[in-house]
Structure formats: C-alpha cells, structure tokens
C-alpha cells in the first residue's frame, strides 16, 4: 500500500472546484427527431401502392442508418441519453464508462481525468482518476476495508478532515474485481457523504468517487449509487 499512497493523488472535491466549463454535447434525441421529421415529410405526399412500398423500405433503411449512427456515437467519448435522469459518458481511450445525473456540468480540474458537478450544489459531483500501476488486480493491494481506509485517509479527503468508513465490499463484473465503499468526511463547515469504486485494469488504477453534502444525502443517495454501480472498465 505504500506505493499506492505515494503515487496516487486526487484533488479534494469538497473544496472549491477550480476549472472552466466545457460545452455541453448534443443529445442523441436530435437524430430521432430528424428521422421523425423526415418520415412526416414523406407521408405528406400522395402515392401509389408501389410508392408506399418504396416509402416503407426507405423508412426501414433510414431507421437502420439511424441505429448505426447511434451505435457509432456510442463508440466514442460521447455523452448520450441513457436511463431517465442520467447521461452516459464513455472514454474509449482509457477504457471506462459511467453515468451521471442530468444537469451536472463537466469541469476541468488538474489531476482528474473527468469531473462532472452540480453548479448549485458543488459537493454533488463525480470524478474519475487513474494512475499507472504494475498490479493486475485490485486485490493485489489488500482486502476492501484496508484499501478503502488508506485511500480515504491519504487521498480522498484532506488531512484536516475527520473521516469514517461506513462499509466496503467487493463485487465482480465480467470477471473483473471492483471494490466499492461508502464513507463520510467531516470538515469544519460541512460533512460530505461519498461513495467510491476502484479497480485495476489496462495497467491503471481506476478510482471513481461521487458524493453530496450530508444534509442532502437521503435525497441523492439513490442517484449516487446508480453512478457508482454504472462504472465499468473495458480492455484497451
């Protein structure tokens, strides 16, 4: 764990987030609406039975092209509409994907690979950090509770905050081991309730952390758990 403590660095998100906002990406629904409009324009013309057959073939072909377009966009780093209330992001270069609540904005922060946050409630955010490692499995660093406690005290919270690990567990996704844990970090003027999930793959140590102000935990916990549970690593 010493090498992990010395090499892993993540900026503390409970502090003021510095960075610039980036442009929001267009939603997938644009293609669907365009396709519907295209179909409506065709329906506006009188046609023979042959024309109707040709129209059905055209619409079928257009729908297929739309499906291919959506699949192609999903193969890139692209925020798309997913389950209600969430957007998804996929980083094909570094091999990870997750979802985040609709309305959160992407910001750029030194030391973080990706960050999204609520501009009104800045403690409500999600960050992804990755560093090189020679390990091949998260279990090589130790059991879930040991690794979680070290990360919380040394990395995920400032040294002047009082922290408490609530629970830590291990689960498997497609043969890959992940550690997921819940903790709180108490600062002088607020307490942050957070969730993290970590894994090792592609020569990297991946960390996703999300959380909220303790006063909003009951309202946000289901959304935050959806974020953590969605984090998936793929081979690159």
d(CA 152, CA 79): 29
Domain tally, the chain: 2
> Is residue 105 left, alpha or beta, with left meaning phi > 0 and alpha meaning psi from -120 to 50?
beta
Question: Out of 7-16, 149-158, 199-208, which region has the weakest mean confidence (pLDDT)?
Answer: 7-16
Q: Does residue 24 carry a pLDDT above 60?
A: no
Q: Give the contacts of 49 (CB within 8 A, at least 6 positions apart).
A: none
For residue range 160-190, what is the model confidence (pLDDT) as tens digits? 999 999 999 999 999 999 999 999 999 999 9
Tokens of 13: 């998100």
User: How far is the first Cα of the chain from the last one, in angstroms, to the nearest whole number?
Assistant: 26
For residue range 205-226, what is the model confidence (pLDDT) as tens digits? 999 999 999 999 999 999 999 9
Q: What is the pTM of this model?
A: 0.69
When pLDDT is cut at 50, 70 and 90, the band that residue 83 belongs to is confident
Tokens of 220: 């946000």
Q: What is the CATH number of the domain that holds 210?
A: 3.40.1000.10
Shared domain for 18 and 56, answered yes or no, is no
Question: Out of 7-16, 132-141, 152-161, 223-232, which region has the weakest mean confidence (pLDDT)?
Answer: 7-16
Shared domain for 50 and 116, answered yes or no, is no
| Average pLDDT value for the chain | 77
Shared domain for 34 and 107, answered yes or no, is no
Last residue of a domain, one of 74, 108, 135: 74
Q: Does residue 23 carry a pLDDT above 80?
A: no
Q: Does residue 18 carry a pLDDT above 50?
A: no
Q: Which helix (H) or strand (E) holds 15?
A: none
Q: Does residue 13 carry a pLDDT above 50?
A: no
Q: Does residue 33 carry a pLDDT above 60?
A: no
CA atoms lying within 13 Å on the CB side of residue 13: 32
For the segment 138-151, the average pLDDT, to the nearest whole number, is: 98
Q: Give the contacts of 90 (CB within 8 A, at least 6 positions apart).
A: 74, 75, 76, 77, 78, 96, 97
For residue range 45-77, what is the model confidence (pLDDT) as tens digits? 444 444 444 544 544 444 434 443 444 444 444
Q: What range defines the domain where residue 209 resides?
A: 2-23+83-233
Q: Which helix (H) or strand (E) holds 6?
A: helix 2-7
């Amino acid at each position: 764990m010493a090498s992990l403590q010395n090499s892993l660095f993540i900026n503390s998100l409970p502090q003021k987030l510095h960075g610039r906002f980036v442009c929001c990406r267009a939603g997938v629904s644009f293609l669907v609406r365009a396709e519907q409009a295209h179909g409506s324009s065709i329906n506006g013309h009188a046609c023979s039975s042959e024309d109707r057959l040709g129209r059905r073939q055209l619409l079928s072909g257009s729908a297929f092209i739309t499906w291919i377009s959506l699949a192609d966009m999903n193969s890139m780093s692209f925020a798309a509409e997913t389950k209600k209330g969430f957007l998804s992001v996929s980083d094909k270069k570094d091999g990870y994907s997750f979802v985040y609540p609709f309305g959160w904005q992407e910001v750029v922060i030194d030391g973080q690979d990706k960050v999204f946050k609520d501009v009104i409630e800045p403690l409500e955010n999600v960050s992804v950090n990755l560093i090189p490692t020679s390990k091949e499995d998260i279990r090589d660093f130790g059991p879930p509770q040991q690794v979680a406690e070290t990360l919380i005290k040394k990395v995920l919270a400032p040294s002047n905050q009082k922290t408490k690990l609530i629970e830590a567990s291990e689960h498997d996704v497609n043969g890959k081991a992940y550690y997921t844990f819940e903790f709180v970090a108490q600062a002088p003027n607020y307490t942050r309730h957070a969730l993290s999930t970590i894994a090792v793959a592609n020569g990297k140590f991946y960390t996703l952390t999300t959380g909220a102000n303790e006063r909003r935990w009951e309202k946000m916990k289901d959304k935050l758990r959806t974020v953590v549970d969605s984090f998936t690593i793929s081979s690159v």
